[in-house]
Amino acid sequence: MLDTYKPTFNIHEAVRKTLPYMMEMREYFHAHPELSEKEFDTCKTIFQELSLMGIEDVKIIAGTGVTGLIRGSLPGPIVLLRADIDALPLSEKYNCPYSSLVDGVMHACGHDGHAANLLGVAKILHQHRDCLRGTIRLAFQPAEEGNGGAARMIDAGILNDPRVEYALGLHVAGGLPKGCIGLRRGEISASCDDFTITLHGQGGHGSQPSVCVSPIQMGVDIVQSIENYVYNRRADGDGVVLTFGQFQAGHSPNVIPDTAELKGTLRTYTEAKRKDILAKLDRILQSVTEIYGGTYDLHIVPFSPVCINDETITARVEAILKEQCADRIDVISMQRGSGSEDFAYFSAAVPSTFYYVGICGDTPVLGHSPDFHWDSNALKYMCETMLKIVYYFKSYA
C-alpha cells in the first residue's frame, strides 16, 4: 500500500541543477571512447568522480568496472543501479564538438550517457541520503558489448556485502521520442549465443570433387538443415532467430579447400528452446560431417541469457513512473526485442527491471551506426526516472 513518504528535496530541481555536470561527463566519455575490457581511462575517471563525491566503498571491480555504495539514513531495500561503459569499434561520422577523438572507436550505443547518468544519480543520492530509504550499490559495468562484463561483476561479488535485493538498469532507445519510457513485464530482450563452426574436409582439384571431401558442401547442408529445423520445428511464432552471418572457405574457383568456417548467432526467449537448438546444431554437425567423411569443431560463446523483467518489481516501477513523473514522462508498453542485453545476468540473479529511455527527436536514431547521435539534454529523463524509482521504491511495495 502506498505510504505518505516524500523526499525532503525536489527531485526535478536537483536533476535540473545536475544536468550540466552529466552533460559534461557524457560528452567527455563520448570524445574518449574505449572498447570492451580496455575502458582504462573511463574506469579511472569514474573512480575519481565517485571518490570526489565522497561515495563509500569506491573500488575497481571485474577488471575495468567500478562500484561504490550509498547508504541511506532510513531503512529500506538494497538496490543495484547499473550502467555499462564500453564503446564500439566504429568510426564516427557525425561531426560535433565532442566527436570521438579515437580512430575507429565510438560510443554508438549510448553507454557514454548511461555512465554519465549514473554519476549524476550518485551525486544526488549522496547529497540527499538523509531521506534515502535503503542502500544503493553502484555498478559501472565494463564489456557489455564484449565478453560477459555483467557475469564477471557478479563473480567478483558485487551482489554481496551487502546482499543486493533488487537491480535496476536502463538503456537509451533511438526509436522512442524524448520524454517516453519503454517498459515491459517478462521477457524484455532475447538470449544470445554466437557460434563458430570449423569444418574439416579433404581438399583437391575442382575437376575431381568425387575424390575430395568438400567443407563448402558440408556447410551448405548444415545451414539448410539447422535453419529448416529451427523455423519448421522450434520457432512456433515465438521469435526464435538463427542467423548465419559469415561463411568463409577457399581462395580459388577451381580448388576445393580443406576447411571452411561458418559463424552465426542464435536468439531465443526461453531457456528450453535455447538448449534444444544448440543441442540439435551439434547433432546436425555430427550427422552431416559423418555422411561426407569430414569432421567439425563447434565453439559457442554465450553472450547472455534471456533478460526478464520481474513481474512484481516492474509493476512497481511502472506505477512509480506513471504517478510520480506523469507531468514529464509518458510510459509506453514495449514489445520484446530480438537484441540482447547482458543486464540479463543481473535479472537472473535478483528481481530486476530494465527499461528504455527515448532519445530521438524528429527522426529515429539508429544504434550501432557510425551516424549515431543524440542530444545530451535527454539525460534529464534518465536521471529523474531512476531517482524517482529509487526514492519511491519502498512506498509502492
Annotated binding site for Mn(2+), which residues? 109, 111, 145, 171, 368
Alpha carbon 231 to its chain centroid, in Å, reads: 26
What are the DSSP calls for 9-33, one per residue?
S-HHHHHHHHHHHHHHHHHHHHHS-
Backbone Cα Rg of the chain: 24
Dihedral pair phi/psi, residue 181, rounded to 5°: -115, 130
As annotated, the binding site includes 109, 111, 145, 171, 368
Strands of the 330-333 sheet, one edge to the other: 56-61, 65-71, 133-141, 74-84, 166-177, 352-360, 180-183, 330-333
Neighbours of 32 (CB within 10 A): 18
Q: Is 39 helix (H, G, I), strand (E, B) or coil?
A: coil
How far apart CA 120 and CA 301 sit, in angstroms, is 34
CA angle 377, 379, 381 (to 5 degrees): 105
Buried residues in 126-145 as b, exposed as e (16+ CB within 10 A): bebbeebbbbbbbbbbbbbb
Q: Is 361 helix (H, G, I), strand (E, B) or coil?
A: coil
Cα distances (angstroms) measured from residue 210 to each of 217, 234, 255, 299? 12, 35, 13, 29
How far apart CA 360 and CA 373 sit, in angstroms, is 9
Assign residue 179 a region (left: φ > 0; alpha: ψ between -120 and 50; beta: otherwise). left
CA angle 76, 81, 82 (to 5 degrees): 165
